Structure 1
């Protein structure tokens, strides 16, 4: 047996965990991982034999004497089960992994940006085997509930776990006439794209079509998208050279066959109920003859290896279009009537920046100038990620001023 401790913040919590282990199991090998959980777990996993068991805990978790006895008692289940899941305060956490050399690898940062859930993520890979579910106190394993204030642990759990482990059952997919196309125009975002795609695939309502346009990427994007073409609801388009966001979105529109097109940036993601919320808004859409849907959104800030939740951001009313234009305020989600987009010639590829920056603000401006009706969705359905690599973040403020003067000519 090999025990791995995932250290979050303070080393003293790791010491508590080590003490509780050594009190009852002196000879067990212990490793501590402080970052890149998935990568480091896979390195350890590769060194274990087919008969070894891997125990993965968080710093601050404690063990009681009968935990190790229970593990040995269940060794004969190694051929039947993936491992042992501890249920604590209604949460399910895989702690013991059987036959680790044959299991699916732990998700690394490009697939799971929330590395604190590296254990929980394993629950979606059952395949032919199931997990053993055990009560925490009965099994002698007590997870730590300690969290720093900024982590907003309970809020983040509610937002992320349904994407990692959808609790809804998806019926066999046979979609003939979906109402919504999700359009992703991506460039050099292979390291973030997998999480975006996962949020689409784990929608509670499976009636969607996904169109991804790869705008000449030279990174891992092609490899990431190769696995997605197996889903009949997914269409992948590729450009030979980078032409910019407006051009890519116009290519997506040309292939869209649904009445609505939802724009999704390849570094952002959707809440599981996003598509269902759009379907539920159809009554209001018909009544108000709406051409554009938007709402509030969840905001995340990307650190070196960690996303921090910043809360729900309120999108401005589109009646304040002049204020939006002047400030460059982000409005999302952005869900367009495809007829309305066609009527106003969609995204503008001309002008000072050729549609490579601020194409969303310029399009909103034209929608409003053409008196297109809008509807605000009642609940947030979109997660926006702030990070230093985004094109908008890298653009200098004076670039926006010059662009603003250009579109108002």
Structure 2
């Protein structure tokens, strides 16, 4: 993420709401991602480093231990936020105390070598999946994902395993478990910009979804 994480961080710094903390996880990266993450001197930013790559789920649980806010918003190191994302999703959860999670629309971008990210369309991920985030043969994670921290901790956080299935679809697993007991609210605007890269671990392993689902 060395070439993209700086832009992701800047999208947090540009939030209209300044009451946030940014906890960044470096899962034993082997490029200049860590150097880029440590470039910013804002006291609201903290970087957590793992010396051995253990997968996103385990890193997310480490970040959950560090987080102090009432809500947690996931942001991948090659995506970025609209300026009002934190404020609007936080307000949506405040106005729906029975909800465990908030989402919105997102802009879908494709990463290219020649031109950088190329915009494809605007997507509502709620319409792509059943309420629990799981279908028989396809994986469509909710994007964006803001969780109520207390409820996220109550269900034990992310699926804490390091094998092959512990490194993919961790977002869908968490969404499914959380929404089994709590409501979802959706804000009707594009608040997140998601970049799809064909070489990412999730894209390379899409065909494993049926087998992964059986292993849950």
Structure 1 residue 387 corresponds to structure 2 residue 197: yes
Equivalence for 2:74: 263
Equivalence for 1:308: 118
**In structure 2, C-alpha distance between the alignment counterparts of 1:404 and 1:353, rounded to whole Å:** 13
Task: Map 1:297-336; keep pairs closer than 5 Å.
Answer: 297-306=106-115, 307-316=117-126, 320-321=130-131, 324-326=134-136, 327-336=138-147
Task: Map 1:358-397; keep pairs closer than 5 Å.
Answer: 358-369=169-180, 371-397=181-207
Q: Is contact 1:290–1:373 with CA below 8 Å preserved after alignment?
A: yes
Q: Structure 1 segments of 4 or more deviating over 6 A?
A: none
Q: Is contact 2:15–2:86 with CA below 8 Å preserved after alignment?
A: yes
Of 344, 349, 361, the residue aligned with 2:160 is: 349
Q: Is contact 1:352–1:403 with CA below 8 Å preserved after alignment?
A: no
Of 252, 260, 265, the residue aligned with 2:63 is: 252
Of 104, 114, 118, the residue aligned with 1:295 is: 104
Which deviates the most, 345-354 or 388-397? 345-354
How many aligned residue pairs are there? 214
**In structure 2, C-alpha distance between the alignment counterparts of 1:322 and 1:227, rounded to whole Å:** 38
TM-score (structure 1 length as normaliser): 0.50
Of 131, 151, 159, the residue aligned with 1:340 is: 151
Task: Map 1:10-409; keep pairs closer than 5 Å.
Answer: 189-228=1-40, 230-286=41-97, 289-306=98-115, 307-316=117-126, 320-321=130-131, 324-326=134-136, 327-350=138-161, 353-369=164-180, 371-397=181-207, 399-407=208-216
Unaligned runs of 5+ in 2: none
Unaligned runs of 5+ in 1: 1-188
Offset, 1:318: 9.2
**CA deviations over 1:347-374 (Å, ceiling 9, x no partner):** 01238635210001111111122x1121
Aligned CA RMSD, in angstroms, stands at: 1.9
Q: Is contact 1:297–1:380 with CA below 8 Å preserved after alignment?
A: yes
**CA deviations over 1:208-242 (Å, ceiling 9, x no partner):** 110001011111012112212x1011011100110
Q: Is the alpha carbon distance of 1:308 and 1:319 closer, same or farther for their aligned partners in structure 2, counting shifts above 3 Å?
A: closer
**CA deviations over 1:57-106 (Å, ceiling 9, x no partner):** xxxxxxxxxxxxxxxxxxxxxxxxxxxxxxxxxxxxxxxxxxxxxxxxxx
**In structure 1, C-alpha distance between the alignment counterparts of 2:143 and 2:93, rounded to whole Å:** 19
Q: Is contact 2:132–2:179 with CA below 8 Å preserved after alignment?
A: no
TM-score (structure 2 length as normaliser): 0.92
Q: Which has the higher contact order (CA 8 A, sep 6+)?
A: 2
Q: Is the alpha carbon distance of 1:406 and 1:215 closer, same or farther for their aligned partners in structure 2, counting shifts above 3 Å?
A: same
Q: Is the alpha carbon distance of 1:218 and 1:206 closer, same or farther for their aligned partners in structure 2, counting shifts above 3 Å?
A: same
